Amino acid sequence: MKVLSVMRMSVCVLLCLVFLGITSGYASEKCMTCHEQKSPGLYRQWKESTHAANGITCIDCHGANEGESDAFLHEGELIATLVTPQDCGACHEQEATETDNSYHATAGLILDSKDAYLAHVAGGSPVAIAGCEQCHGSKVVIDPDSPNKLARNSWPNTGIGRLNPDGSKGSCTPCHTRHGFDKAQARRPEACAKCHLGPDHPQKEIYDESKHGNAFYTNVDKMNLNAEDWVVGQDYYAAPTCATCHMSATGKQPVTHDVGKRISWTLRPPVSKHKENWEAKRANMKDVCTACHGASFVDGHYYQFDAVVRLYNEKFAKPAGEIINLVRKNGLLENKAGFSNDIEWTYWEIWHHEGRRARHGAAMMGPDYTWWHGIYEVAQNFYFKLIPQARAYNNPEVNAYLDKLLTEDPMHNWLSRESADLKSDIRSGKMQKVYKKLFEMR
């Protein structure tokens, strides 16, 4: 690890020397001298950064070549405002390649999603630009008439999957705030929290309520966040952050900028599925956990987590999907446009909001999200919104499906039984047996 990073550093320093050699025709200090006056805050962010300490200046990042579509003449130099992953990748090749291979890099490709349709029709275009695209990334459009060549409806934007004029995807600033570009900052949970929060993916809230969040905030001075290398169990041990579990090094794994490398389920879609090669990805994550926990403790966590995902899938998500299918198949929706009927919003919130919250809560040890903000709301909306809305169509095929589900499925037939009976089933363990298969499925 250390040897590698020293090697990488020397390559970088060499590259920079070459770079400085090329650009020395223009006094590159001119950028700093003027900007120290014109934008002193920005200048100081840079001045105190590792980049400044290593002689990386404004022009090393903002310098542009003739022919680049976003290049413009600024104080006698050709520069570009955007500094894309491709630009950073000139000196940080590995980070740029891993970022490009990650799911993050695809986050700008959302225009065909149901979410985007909903935002454009039920909301309106400004909310897609100032909402969705600020997290997912805009397609940055060139406007030759703008002083910096960037169209205002696509810039400012530092979305995680931004589509850049040079063809590269994403941006590095969502986690490495400019102009400090500090890795200590990116190691903190706040670095992910602009995007990973809210009703449909409350990872930050879940982390904050978990014992891990508690251990982090109460021990932050023991986290050694400024260390050069940050290997869990060696350089720090008080608590894991988002980066620890999803990106940072362990005794066996190097740092990765591909955030999907340790994830076995996808918890986003209506019905969760295992990812390709999921066993290996799960083993990568368990390797992180076992820096601080025993292996059987970690296995126990996955046993509980898997069962919640299957409970959501089997008891609620699949039947809810089937109900909506039958309603659509029988042409029962009153209005034609997607999302113009109440029942569509009910179904949407069951999987996209509370259904995700339950799964995320169970994945990352946030019990309040697993139950109160999660399955509790899934159940309430399933039994007391979706089913009554489907019943209201009074369609034989829909009714037959619901009757069968609610009388024959032992997970659902509680609705028509006596609570005294149900309580005795819980006490005797009979009720728990109904759910046993969820623990055993693969």
- Paired tokens of 198: 């809210």
- Paired tokens of 43: 């200048």
Which one of 232-240, 336-344, 368-376, 410-418 is the stretch in contact with ligand HEC (CB under 6 A)? 232-240
Spatial CA neighbour of 354 closest among 375, 323, 385, 382: 375
Size of the site for ligand HEC (CB under 6 A): 129
Least distance (Å) between residue 10 CB and ligand HEC = 9
CA–CA distance, 13 with 183 (Å, rounded to integer)? 18
215 touches ligand HEC (CB under 6 A)? yes
44 touches ligand HEC (CB under 6 A)? no
Chain positions 294 to 313 lying near ligand HEC, rule: CB under 6 A, are: 298, 301
Which one of 186-194, 337-345, 368-376, 413-421 is the stretch in contact with ligand HEC (CB under 6 A)? 186-194
Of 64, 70, 71, 158, the one binding ligand HEC (CB under 6 A) is: 158
Q: How far is CA 220 from CA 156, 175, 225, 327, 366, in A?
A: 32, 19, 8, 52, 20
Least distance (Å) between residue 263 CB and ligand HEC = 4
Collect contacts of 259-263 with beta carbons under 8 A, ≥24 apart: 259/102, 259/103, 259/104, 260/102, 260/103, 262/288
Give the type of residue at 384. Answer: F
**Residue 413 contacts residue 407 (beta carbons within 8 Å):** yes
CA–CA distance, 247 with 259 (Å, rounded to integer)? 6
154 touches ligand HEC (CB under 6 A)? no
CA–CA distance, 126 with 153 (Å, rounded to integer)? 9
Chain positions 251 to 270 lying near ligand HEC, rule: CB under 6 A, are: 255, 257, 259-260, 263-269
Of 68, 115, 143, 342, the one binding ligand HEC (CB under 6 A) is: 115
Q: How far is CA 226 from CA 70, 91, 217, 231, 236, in A?
A: 35, 21, 16, 12, 11
387 touches ligand HEC (CB under 6 A)? no
374 touches ligand HEC (CB under 6 A)? no
Chain positions 390 to 419 lying near ligand HEC, rule: CB under 6 A, are: none
**Which string of x and - marks every residue 328-367 that binds ligand HEC (by CB under 6 A)?**
--------------------------------x--xxx--
153 touches ligand HEC (CB under 6 A)? no
- Paired tokens of 368: 């309040």
If the CB atoms of residues 223 and 387 are measured against ligand HEC, the closer one turns out to be 223
291 touches ligand HEC (CB under 6 A)? yes
141 touches ligand HEC (CB under 6 A)? no
If the CB atoms of residues 369 and 387 are measured against ligand HEC, the closer one turns out to be 369
38 touches ligand HEC (CB under 6 A)? yes
CA–CA distance, 428 with 405 (Å, rounded to integer)? 24
Spatial CA neighbour of 205 closest among 383, 357, 76: 357
Using Cβ positions, the residue closest to ligand HEC within the complex turns out to be 260
Which one of 235-243, 339-347, 403-411, 431-439 is the stretch in contact with ligand HEC (CB under 6 A)? 235-243
**Which string of x and - marks every residue 49-78 that binds ligand HEC (by CB under 6 A)?**
-xx--x-xxxxxxx-----------xx-x-
CA–CA distance, 348 with 345 (Å, rounded to integer)? 5
Least distance (Å) between residue 393 CB and ligand HEC = 29
Least distance (Å) between residue 135 CB and ligand HEC = 3
**Residue 271 contacts residue 313 (beta carbons within 8 Å):** yes
285 touches ligand HEC (CB under 6 A)? yes
CA–CA distance, 293 with 286 (Å, rounded to integer)? 9
